[in-house]
Amino acid sequence: MHPDREQAFLQYVTSRKQRLHRVAYHLLGDRDRADDAVQHTLTVLYQRWPRMHEVGNLDGYVHTMVVRECLRDRRRWLARVHLRAAPPDVPVAAADPEIEQRMLLRAALRELPDRQRTVLVLRFLCDLPVLEVADLLGLAEGTVKAHTAKGLDALRRRLDTATTRSLA
């Protein structure tokens, strides 16, 4: 690759890698698998980089690549691995209420069905409109809205239950 294009690629990746990882982590629920998904996406992006000047919305294109890689990874992983319980989150050194709330939210999010979790992450973490989520996942807009409503209801119930247990 030409040095100028390689420098542009490095700048692009440096400025967006953390956000891509955050999306992958919330979709997959595992830091290592999120690292793998982002790394695979960036490897493919590097191979395609000389043609990326033709893409109108590069961020949207790369974001779609990450989401699709996460969905592929989840299908492959679930076909091979059968776990009974979710692994614990990273332990917290001190009782920080904000960190505890994030851990409760992540745990509740992991309990949702795959489609609902994916739709909620894309809609609220990635701030994508219903139409883009529908296009990305190959669903009807009404289905995305239904998954959003059901996912939010289930998330609220789980968080209410978890909060009640932690106060007891």
CATH code of the domain covering residue 126: 1.10.10.10
**pTM, rounded to two decimals:** 0.64
Residue 119 domain-assigned (yes or no): yes
Cα–Cα nearest to 128, from 75, 64, 70, 73 = 64
> Residue 49 in contact with residue 5, Cβ under 8 Å?
yes
Q: Specify whether 125 is located in the same domain as 165.
A: yes
**Cα gap 135→37, rounded to integer Å:** 21
Residue 88 domain-assigned (yes or no): no
Residue 98 has what pLDDT? 76
Residue 137 has what pLDDT? 87
Q: Which positions ≥6 away from 124 have C-beta within 8 Å?
A: none
Q: Which domain-ending residue is among 82, 115, 135?
A: 82
> Residue 101 in contact with residue 89, Cβ under 8 Å?
no
- Token representation of residue 63: 């974001």
> Residue 41 in contact with residue 66, Cβ under 8 Å?
yes
Q: Specify whether 104 is located in the same domain as 40.
A: no
Which pLDDT tens digits describe the chain residue by residue (168 residues)? Answer: 678 888 989 999 999 999 999 999 988 888 999 999 999 999 999 999 988 888 888 888 898 899 889 888 877 765 565 555 666 556 555 566 777 777 888 888 888 898 899 899 889 888 889 998 998 888 999 999 999 999 999 988 888 886 666 655
Residue 131 domain-assigned (yes or no): yes
Residue 108 has what pLDDT? 85
Which residue range forms the structural domain that includes residue 122? 93-168
Residue 94 has what pLDDT? 55
Q: Specify whether 18 is located in the same domain as 52.
A: yes
Looking at the 3D structure of the chain, how many domains does it have?
2
Residue 86 has what pLDDT? 62
Residue whose structure tokens are 């990450």: 66
Residue 153 domain-assigned (yes or no): yes
Q: Specify whether 75 is located in the same domain as 114.
A: no
**Cα gap 28→74, rounded to integer Å:** 7
Total length of the chain = 168
| φ, ψ at 138 (rounded to 5°) | 70, 40
